[in-house]
Amino acid sequence: MSIGNKTFAIIKPDAVAAGNAGAILSLIEQNGFKVKGLRLQHLTLKEAEGFYAVHKGKGFFDELVAFMTEAPVVLLALEKENAVQAWRDLMGATNPEKAADGTVRKLYGTNIGRNASHGSDSDENAAIELAWFFRGSEIA
């Protein structure tokens, strides 16, 4: 599996707490992704701050890490051709109000902060984010 075929995804605390993780996983599989890694995890503050370090200093950073640590998330390694873009397309716009019909964020997001899902924004970041959360042996 070449790196261009992999991406990292999170089903965020709002979606997991609302009982929408299964529906989102179904949508992922129906759209041709293969689930190669999967773990339910309640992130610590350190893990969330480290993962989102690129956003440190932004006005929404504290809110973002508080949200990401309020309840468990589902961490995913996904495989599909052009996986990064394909998953971003399926998630929809960051702001659920602007997301297209049928997308994860339109269906299950609430607002720009509580937006149900995360996805890597490049192949390079997919590799970094996958390595942040999964050991090699945890990806099928």
Residues near ligand CMP (CB under 6 A) are 55, 60, 64, 94, 112-113, 115, 118
**What whole-number distance in Å separates Cα of residue 16 and Cα of residue 88?**
19
Min dist CB 137 to ligand CMP, Å, is 26
- Cβ closer to ligand CMP: 46 or 55? 55
Catalytic residue among 118, 119, 120, 133: 118
The distance of closest approach from Cβ of residue 15 to ligand CMP in the complex, given in angstroms and rounded to an integer, is 12
Phi, psi of 76 (to 5 degrees): -135, 140
State how far the Cα of 77 lies from the Cα of 132, in Å rounded to an integer: 11
Alpha-carbon distance of 134 to 119, in angstroms, equals 15
Phi, psi of 134 (to 5 degrees): -125, 135
Between 7 and 115, whose beta carbon lies closer to ligand CMP?
Answer: 115
Quick check: is 118 catalytic? Answer: yes
Active site residues: 118
